[in-house]
Amino acid sequence: MRTRAKSVRPLGTLEERVMRILWRGGPLSVREVNGRLGEDSLAHTTIMTTMDRLYKKGLLSRIKEGVAYIYSAALTRDEYQQRLVGATVSELMTKDGDAAPVLAAFVDAAAELDEENLAKLEALIAERRRSGD
């Protein structure tokens, strides 16, 4: 089975519909996916192009059976969403200084904390909690 690993991008409307079908059940051929679109079925080539694109994005894997490819989801829906979030947050965070106002993180990961300091702070918090602060 062949897959292509690429960075995760948001899905277009048709891509989303195709992925939903394959997340619900697969593996499926292009014809079968198109059949499951029901009243919204489109030209065979449109679905084929879309699925090929999803394969190239690394979201589908495929094997050749005869003359046709059989596709299945390379990632579960949860995995896809996690990767999308990871890629999006990464894009937000790695902006240069000018984008700093875009974000207000609860904890700055750039701050350096060693285990000894953390332990001291934990002890301080525990003490304050005991005294009712």
Partner 1 sequence: MAAASLIGFGLVVITVSMLTSLLLSGALVRFAKRLHEVGPRAGRRAATLAVILPPLIGVIVSGTIAASSLLAYFAGQDHCLGHGHHLHLCPIHGAQWLSEPWAVAAMAFFGTFVIVRLGQTVWGHVSAQRLARRLRLVGEPIGHYEHTFIVPSDERFAFTAGVFTPTVIISRAAWDALDVSQRQAVLAHEHAHVRNGDLWKRAILGLLACFGAPILIQNALKLWDIASERVSDHEAARQVGKPSVVASAILRLARTRTTNQVPAVAVFAAACHVEGRIHSLFDHPESGSHAAKKLLIVLVLGVGAVALAVASFSESLHHLLETILG
Kindly state the smallest distance separating residue 34's Cβ from partner 1, in Å. Answer: 26
Kindly state the smallest distance separating residue 54's Cβ from partner 1, in Å. Answer: 17
Give the CA radius of gyration of the chain: 23
Please name every residue paired with 61 in a beta bridge, in sequence order, or none if there are none: 72
Return the residues of window 56-85 that contact partner 1 according to CB under 8 A: 78, 81-82, 84-85
Kindly state the smallest distance separating residue 68's Cβ from partner 1, in Å. Answer: 32
**Contact at 8 Å (CB) between 26 and 73?**
yes
Kindly state the smallest distance separating residue 126's Cβ from partner 1, in Å. Answer: 8
CA distance 28 to 42: 16
**Cα dist. 104→85, 90, 97, 98, 109 in Å?**
17, 14, 13, 13, 12
92 binds partner 1 (CB under 8 A): yes
* Binding string, residues 7-46; x marks residues near partner 1 by CB under 8 A: ---x------------------------------------
Task: Report the amino acid identity of residue 30.
Answer: V
CA distance 23 to 86: 20
Catalog residues that contact partner 1 under the rule CB under 8 A.
10, 78, 81-82, 84-86, 88-111, 113-115, 117-118, 121-122, 124-125, 128-129, 132-133
